[in-house]
A and B are shown apart, each in its own frame.
Chain A
Amino acid sequence: MSRDAGSPVTTPPAASAAATVTRPYDPAEERGILVVLPHPDDESFAAGGTLARAAAAGVKTTYLCGTYGDMGRRMGRPAFTNREALRDVRTAELKDACQVLGCDVRFMGLRDKCIEFEDPEAVAAKVREAIEELRPSAVVTFYPGHGVHPDHDALGHATVLAVRGLAAGERPRLLAVAIGERDELLSALGQPHLECDITAFADRKLDALRAHRSQTEAMFAHWDEQGIDGAEDAQSKAFRDEFVTRERYYVLDPDVPTLLEARA
Chain B
Amino acid sequence: MRPIDRVSVQAELDRRLGQPHYLHLETTTGSYTKLGPEKKSPVIAFVRNALLTYERGTVTGDGPYRVGLKLDQGWVYADGLTDFEVNERDELLLAGLDCEGQLTMALQLSPNPFREGEGDR
B112 → chain A, closest Cβ, in Å? Answer: 12
List, in ascending order, chain B residues with CB within 8 A of A79's CB: 1, 83, 97, 101-103
B110 CB, min distance to chain A CBs, angstroms: 8
Chain B interface size, under 10 / 10 to 19 / 20 to 34 / 35 or more: 35 or more
Q: Across the interface, which residues of B come within 8 angstroms of A107, CB to CB?
A: 118
Closest beta carbon of chain A to B40's beta carbon, Å: 13
Task: Contacts A73-B30, A91-B120, A148-B31 given; indicate if A84 touches B102 (C-beta within 8 A).
Answer: no
Known A-B contacts A109-B118, A111-B116; A71 and B100 likewise in contact (beta carbons under 8 Å):
no
Interface secondary structure of A, over-half rule: loop
Distance, CA A92 to CA B7, complexed state (A): 35
- B103: contacting residue among A75, A87, A88, A149, CB under 8 A: A75
Would you call A74 and B101 a contact (CB within 8 A)? yes
Q: Are B116's CB and A235's CB within 8 A?
A: no
Q: Which range holds the interface residue count of chain A?
A: 20 to 34
B104-121 CB mask vs A (1 if < 8 Å, else 0) is 101010000011111111
Q: Please pick, from A77, A84, A87, A235, the residue contacting B100 in the complex, using a CB distance under 8 A.
A: A77
The answer to whether B115 and A73 have CB atoms under 8 Å apart is no
Docked complex Cα distance between A84 and B48 (Å): 11
Indicate if B75 sits at the interface (CB-CB under 8 A): no
Is the pair B87, A234 in contact by a Cβ cutoff of 8 Å?
no
**Binary A-proximity of B32-64 (CB < 8 A = 1, otherwise 0):** 101111000000101000000000000000000
16-33 of chain A: CB within 8 A of chain B: none
Q: How far is the CA of A80 from the CA of B83 in the complex (A)?
A: 12
Which residue of chain A is the closest to B82 with respect to CB atoms? A79
* A-chain residues with CB within 8 Å of residue B93 when the two chains form the complex: 82-84
Q: Given the complex of chains A and B, what is the CA–CA distance between A233 and B83 in angstroms?
A: 29
Q: Is the CB of A109 within 8 A of B119?
A: yes
Interface residue A6 (Cβ < 8 Å from any Cβ of B): no
In the complex, B8 has a CB within 8 A of chain A: no
Given contacts A73-B103, A74-B102, A75-B102, contact A109 B108 (CB under 8 A): no
B28 interface residue (CB < 8 Å to A): yes
A14–B41 CA distance with the chains assembled, in angstroms: 25
- Contact at B46–A71, with CB atoms within 8 Å? yes
Q: Is the CB of B101 within 8 A of A83?
A: no
Q: Which 6 A-B pairs have the closest CB atoms?
A: A109-B118, A79-B101, A73-B103, A77-B101, A78-B101, A149-B31
